[in-house]
Structure 1
Amino acid sequence: MNSSPRRSRLWVDLTLLGIVGVLLIAAAAAAVGSLYREFYSPSAFVERYLTLLSEGRAAEALMVDGVAVASNELEAAGLTPTASDALLRPDAMATLTDITAVSETDTGGVFEVTVEYEAGAYAGTTTFEVERAGAVGVVPTWRFLKSPLAVIELVVKGAHTFDVNGFVIDKRQVSPDGSEADPLAPLALLVFSPGIYSVSVDTSIAATPGVAVLSDTPFTAVDVTVQAEPTSEFAALVQQRVEEFLTGCATQEVLQPTGCPFGYFVQDRIVSPPVWSIAAQPTVALEPSGNGWKIPATEARARIDVEIRSIFDGSVTQINEDVPFIVTSEITLLPDGTASIAVAGPDTR
C-alpha cells in the first residue's frame, strides 16, 4: 500500500540527482573551458610570450616555439639575413604592460590572436598567427606560424655610437663589416615585437633626443633615421679651432698665405713683407653633412698692411686694406670618436 509514495520519492530523488549530475558536468565543462582559455589556448600562448617580454626575460622569450629565426628565414621574408641580435637582451628592452588578448579567430587551423598592450607610453595592438605544434597528453601545444621578431633598419648620422633604451652600441660592433663598416649604411637589428625602442645619441661631440620606434608588426622591417646634432661644447670648439687656424694663417708674411682661404694679388713689387691680421673672424654654424658636419660658406675679413713699389715709376704706395674671404669646412668623424676639422675656402692654395 505504501509502494507508490516510495516510488514517487525515489523518482524525485533520482531526478534531483540527475539535475545535480548535469550541473556538475556543466560546471566541469565550464571549468575545463576556463582552464583551456587561461592556460592552453592560442591566446594564452601569446599572452605568456608577452608576459616574458614584460618581465625582461629575453632568453626565455627566444625559446618560445616559433620565435627564434635563422638567417635563411630572414632572407626568405625579404629581411636582412645578417641582422644583429644585439638588442635581444634585457638591457635593451622597455616596459610592456596591460597585456590583454581581445580576439582569437580560427582561419582554418591557423589562429589569429589580437592583443592590446601598453608599450612605454604608447598603446599598441598586434595580431599574431599561431598554429598547433603538437600535444602533451591531452593538452595542446602551440607555436608562432610567423616569428614575432622584427628588424629595425637603423641609420645614425653624426655619431659612431648610439644607445637604444639606454643600451650603448657602436656601429662597428653590430655591422657585419666590423671596423670597415660604412657609417651611413643601415644597421639591421633584430628586436622583439611588440616593443618600444628609443634611439638616441649622447656623446661629447653629438647628441639628440630619443626617437621612439614602436615595433608592433611581427617579421617586418622598420626604417629609422636619426640625425645627431653637434653639442654646444663641440660647436664652441670648432669656432675656436677655426679662429686659431686663421690666426695662424695671418702669421705668414707673404701675399698668398699657404693653405689659407685669403690672399692679396698685386702686379708690382712689395717693399717689405706684408703684415696680416684677422679683422673679422667668421661666425661658425654647423650643418649635417654625411656622417659628419660642415661649415657652410661663411664670410670673414683679413687685413693686409704692405708697401707696394710701382714697377713703372718706382713710387711706393702704403696699402692698408680689408680683404673679404669665404670660409668653409668639412668636419669628419674619426673611428676613435674624435673629429677632423679641415678649413678651406675658394682662395685656398
Structure 2
Amino acid sequence: MTLGFSLQKLENGSNYLSSSDIQSFCQLESEQLTSQDRIFFARIVYHDWLLRTHQEVINYRQNQPPFSQKTLAYLRSEVWLTDFPPIFTLDKFPLEDSSSICYICPIGYRNQKPEYIQIITDKPLSDSSKLYTKRCAILLSKYVDIYIDYGRQKTEIQLLEDILHRIGHQLRNSLGLIGLYAHNLCLGLKENPWQEQATIISESIQDLDTNLNELIDCGQGAKLRVTLQDLRSLVVESVKNLQPLINDKKLTITISDTSTILKIDRLQMKQVFDNILSNAVHFSPNLGIVNCSWQIFQDEVLIKISDQGPGLSPEDLQKIFTPFYSRRRGGTGLGLTIAKKIILDHQGSIWAQVLSERGTQISVILPRPKSG
C-alpha cells in the first residue's frame, strides 16, 4: 500500500487534495479491509478539514447483506464506544444484540471526536489481519495529515492572494496619479534644466508599475511559468545583484559548491532569494558572514540562508511573514510575505529561526523533479 495513487495529481501539477480525494482513498482502504479473511464490514470515520466536519466511508464484503438503517444509526451513535484507546491499537468493543465481533483502531482525535477504522468480523481476527488493519490505520493517518497540511496551505495562499490584490489595487491608483503629474511636468518643462529630472521620475514610475504587475502575478499560483533551473546559478545571480552593498560592508558570502535542478518559476523564485539575501546582507554587521547552503535529498532540497546579525525577537519570529511587518527602517513589510506566497505556490515550505550563536536563518524546502 502506498500514497502514490492519491498523490499523482500533485505530481501532475495540481496543488491541493480535495474532499473527493480523501473519500476515494478511504473507500479503497475499506475495500482492501473487507477483502481480508473474516472481515465482512469496514467503516472509516475521519475529519474532513475542508468541510469542517466528520465523514464516514462504509464497505461490505462481496455478497454480504447491508446492515439495516437501525444498525447503522446505532454504530454512528457511538454509544458502544465506552473507552478511547490509544491510536493505532486494535481493541474489541461489544455490540448490542450481536454475536459479531467489533474491532476499533483509532487514527486520531480531532475536535474532541475520534477518528477510527471500525471492522466487524464473524470470528476473532488472525494475527496477520490485525497487523494489516493497524498498517491501514497508520497509512490513513498519514494521508489525513497530508490532506490537512495541503488544506491549510490552500487557505493561507488564498489569504495572501487577497492581500496582494488589495495592495496592487491601492498602489495602482497612487502610481497612476503620480505618473500623470510626472508626464505633465515633462511636457511643461521643455527646454528647462529640470526636464531631465522630471523624465527620470516618469521612467521610475513606469519601472514601479512593471514591478507591481510582477507582484500581482505572484498572487496567482496558476500563472507559474515553471522550467528546469539550476539552484546554485540562481543564488549566485541574486548575490551578484547585491554586490555593491556586500563590498561596502566587507561581507563574506559562502555558497555550497554542489547544486541541483529544480522545476520552478525562475523569475518568482529569484525574487524569493533576492528578498531573503537582501535581508541577510542588510542585517549583517561589517565583516560578517552570510552562509548559503543546502542539503539535497531524493525528493526535495533543504536550503538554508543565515547571517550573523542581531537575530530575531519572539515577536519577530511570530510575525516575520506577516504582511506589512518589517524590521527594516523604511521597509514595506512585503518581501518575506511575497517569498512565502511563492514558496507555497511551489508546494514548498519556509520558516525562520534564531541561531544559537548569533544571527538569523531562513530555511526553505522545495520539491525536486523526479529523474527519468
> Which band: TM-score by shorter chain?
under 0.3
- Larger radius of gyration between Structure 1 and Structure 2: 1
Normalized against structure 2, the TM-score is what?
A: 0.23
Normalized against structure 1, the TM-score is what?
A: 0.24
The answer to which structure has the higher helix fraction is 2
